[in-house]
Amino acid sequence: MREYETTVIVQPEISGEGTEVILRKLDGVLEQSGATRLMCSDLGKRKLAYEIAKFQKGHYYVLSFLDDGGVVHELERNLRIEESVLRFMTIRVEGEVIDVERRKEEARIAEVEQQKRVAEKAAREAEEAKAREEVERQAAEEARGQSDVADSDDSSEYDDDGGDADEESDDDADEEKS
């Protein structure tokens, strides 16, 4: 058996459920042909090197599998039919995989590690979003506090008839001296 990788670029606005449908369809094709799926890596949304079908970004997936080569044509046929797939490419990674079970175990471990990294990244992003919200909330409170102080400063400088309060107190002081 040989090891293959198929890289698929999906339109960026396709939902997670939409991409799951595509990936399940690809897994089904692999299963029907007797190929062994190793792992599917979600590389996330990335900027494309050039515009494809008026898209500047795409969501990248890498599907690794073992097969004798017969499934590649059927897999690519299914990808051509799928409208939300912008591009795909299948390459042979390794000529002959001798220890299939060892390779399956390596792929399983790599997929578990990938899932951990995804979970850590999601937690980190949630924490960063929470910190940003806190900073924005504090900035808004400070802005409100400064506008309240500015409003109270403005009202103390002027008396009720619109004159300057400081000038009036100076006039009172001059009258007292006379």
Report whether pLDDT(62) > 70.
Answer: yes
pLDDT of residue 153: 59
Q: Residue 72: in which H helix or E strand, if any?
A: helix 71-81
160 — pLDDT class (breaks 50, 70, 90): low
Report whether pLDDT(36) > 60.
Answer: yes
Please give the share of the chain, as a percent, with pLDDT higher than 70: 83
Show the tokens assigned to 57.
């970004």
Q: How far apart are CA 25 and CA 30, in angstroms?
A: 9
Contact criterion met (CB below 8 Å) for 97 and 103: yes
Please identify which residue in the block is written with the tokens 């400064």. 146
132 — pLDDT class (breaks 50, 70, 90): very high
Please identify which residue in the block is written with the tokens 């396709």. 14
Question: Can you tell me whether residue 24 is helix, strand or coil?
Answer: helix
- The whole-model pTM stands at 0.67
Report whether pLDDT(94) > 90.
Answer: no
Q: For the sheet containing 36-52, what is the strand order?
A: 36-52, 55-67, 2-10, 85-94
Chain Cα centroid distance, residue 3: 29
Report whether pLDDT(170) > 70.
Answer: no
* Whole-number average pLDDT of the chain: 85
- Average pLDDT of the segment spanning 153-177: 53
Which residues, listed in sequence order, are joined to residue 9 by a DSSP beta bridge? Answer: 60, 87
